[in-house]
Amino acid sequence: MSTAGAFPDGFLWGAATSSYQVEGAVDADGRAPSIWDTFTAERGLDSGADACDHYRRWAADADLMAGLNMTAYRFSLAWPRIVPQGTGAVNRAGLAHYDRMVDGLLERGITPVPTLYHWDLPQALQDRGGWTDRATTEAFAEYTDVCLDALGDRVPIWLTVNEPWVVSVLGYRLGLHAPGERDLRTSLLVAHHLLLAHGQAMGRIRERCPDARAGIPLSLFPNYPVSDDPADVAAARGSEGYTNRWYLDPVLRGRYPADTWDLFERLVGPLDFVQPGDLDLIGTRSDLLGVNYYTRRRIAAAPQDGLPWRVLPAQPGVPVTDSGWEDVPEAFHDLLVGLHREYDVPLLITENGGVWNAGPDPDGRVRDTGRVRALHGHLRALSRAVDDGARVLGYLHWSLLDNLEWAEGYAQRFGLVHVDHATQRRTVKDSARYYASVIAANRVLDPADHSAPAGSAGDDGP
């Protein structure tokens, strides 16, 4: 338990990124294309070709993190750098990059928290079916072994597969993310394989790195019924099964939720891709659950639709981010307390943040007041959840840098640190200064006193 507003000793404070969103250098040191190189080229979208050039600038970025008092950094390992064809030959040059970065983080007192898979599947595997092919889960286990053998002696926390729900839904049901397919059954097949890949990785981590802590980062949404009408209440429960329990229950209880299973079988027929033994593997004991939280879902019944609910737009009067997502810290508190009660697992906040597009003012300072307000609200909600008994290991803000927001490109800015994508100049935003003072105090502070630059602004060019 904490005293009000304070966090436990040893609480991890930091930020998160992922390889394709920040690294750039897509042709460097033997990297092969991923599905995101292909998808952005095919659709004419902004690509990660340059991104934040973090592959080359990681040391300066690590200095920035240290200067902001951060004690942990969540980044992802790029499979197409390490095993470029997905299976087989290991690319030592790609691996050496992460080896140096892990050492560089540790030298600066920053705990490395790598994610094994954050969506940049080697294109060579996609050409053989990608996540629709069960063999990809075996390839992932093989790649995981390579990562563990190279970095496992220094990495204390491993994250497995980022947000299978988002991959499944945006990549395979709605066609908005790579590889751009649109089919409910395929999306469920892929979700199962992603969970199986998580289970495979957990098994490998247990075997090779018994002292490490590990778990899966899930995108989790509190789903609220729009009214007390039993139909809306049931719809919200259904939607919650779809977004949350379909992933939480197999990982933390070793079984799929029966209500959601029945709904899916009604819609797509037998889920016969779930094979005997799969759920035992998926349910391999986790040490922690990664929580990615951005917003809530308000749900109304829609019995005539395939999935029998509708997600309502932002409620008038509720603050929204610059991308229109409702900014509701209270829902974050509800989510964390609910997870603690239902699953009683240590939580690591692996993503939380929002889009605020403020850029530098003429004096060079980035006054991202929306992010400061939201960060304050969410940290307060987090601290109340800790007071209410949730076991929270740390908080990793999304994101360290303004980066490639997938299909939305560079137009959406999630960073604590502003990036001028033409020059790669970094500028610490007001939100980052506020965050640094919170970290130093290990308690929630009033932003009014703590987001102004201490000395001159613009002290953080590359």
Residue ranges in contact with ligand FCB by CB under 6 A: 18, 21, 162-163, 166, 219, 292, 351, 398, 405-406, 414
Shortest distance, position 49 Cβ to ligand FCB, whole Å: 17
Cα angle: 194, vertex 285, 186; to 5 degrees: 15
Find the catalytic residue in 163, 265, 405, 408: 163
Shortest distance, position 164 Cβ to ligand FCB, whole Å: 11
Shortest distance, position 200 Cβ to ligand FCB, whole Å: 21
Cβ distance 214 to 157 under 8 Å?
A: yes
Strand residues in 295-444 grouped as ranges (E): 297-301, 309-311, 347-352, 392-398, 417-420, 425-428
List the one residue out of 299, 294, 345 whose CA is nearest residue 322. Answer: 294
Nearer to ligand FCB, 168 or 292 (CB): 292
3-state helix, strand, coil in the chain (%, to 5): 45, 15, 40
Cα angle: 384, vertex 295, 3; to 5 degrees: 10
Map residue 30 onto helix, strand or coil.
Answer: helix
The pair of three-digit structure tokens given for residue 462, joined into one six-digit string = 């590359």
Cα torsion for 337, 322, 44, 58, to the nearest 10°? -70
Shortest distance, position 222 Cβ to ligand FCB, whole Å: 16
Shortest distance, position 356 Cβ to ligand FCB, whole Å: 12
Nearer to ligand FCB, 28 or 166 (CB): 166
Give, in order, the Cα–Cα distances in Å from 47 to each of 42, 61, 359, 371. Answer: 10, 21, 21, 25
Nearer to ligand FCB, 34 or 219 (CB): 219
Find the catalytic residue in 23, 240, 326, 351: 351
Shortest distance, position 5 Cβ to ligand FCB, whole Å: 27
Residue 163 annotated to the active site = yes
Nearer to ligand FCB, 18 or 383 (CB): 18
Nearer to ligand FCB, 91 or 403 (CB): 403
Shortest distance, position 406 Cβ to ligand FCB, whole Å: 6
Q: Determine the Cα–Cα distance for residues 365 and 453; give it in Å rounded to an integer.
A: 8
Q: Determine the Cα–Cα distance for residues 348 and 56; give it in Å rounded to an integer.
A: 28
Give buried/exposed letters for 34-46 (b at 16+ CB in 10 A, else e).
Answer: bbbbbbbeeeebb
Residue 240 annotated to the active site = no
Is the peptide bond preceding residue 399 cis, with omega within 30 degrees of 0? yes
Beta bridge partners of 429: 366
- Listed in sequence order, the residues at least 6 apart from 205 whose beta carbon sits closer than 8 Å to its beta carbon are 144, 148, 158, 212, 214
Nearer to ligand FCB, 21 or 40 (CB): 21
List the one residue out of 23, 35, 142 whose CA is nearest residue 83. Answer: 142
The pair of three-digit structure tokens given for residue 44, joined into one six-digit string = 């004419």
Nearer to ligand FCB, 7 or 117 (CB): 117
Shortest distance, position 292 Cβ to ligand FCB, whole Å: 6
Give, in order, the Cα–Cα distances in Å from 201 to each of 141, 163, 232, 361. Answer: 6, 15, 38, 46
Shortest distance, position 341 Cβ to ligand FCB, whole Å: 25
- Listed in sequence order, the residues at least 6 apart from 95 whose beta carbon sits closer than 8 Å to its beta carbon are 81, 82, 146, 147, 150
Nearer to ligand FCB, 256 or 398 (CB): 398
Cα angle: 27, vertex 179, 192; to 5 degrees: 115
Cβ distance 167 to 131 under 8 Å?
A: yes
Q: Determine the Cα–Cα distance for residues 217 and 358; give it in Å rounded to an integer.
A: 28
Nearer to ligand FCB, 21 or 132 (CB): 21
Q: List the catalytic residues.
A: 163, 351
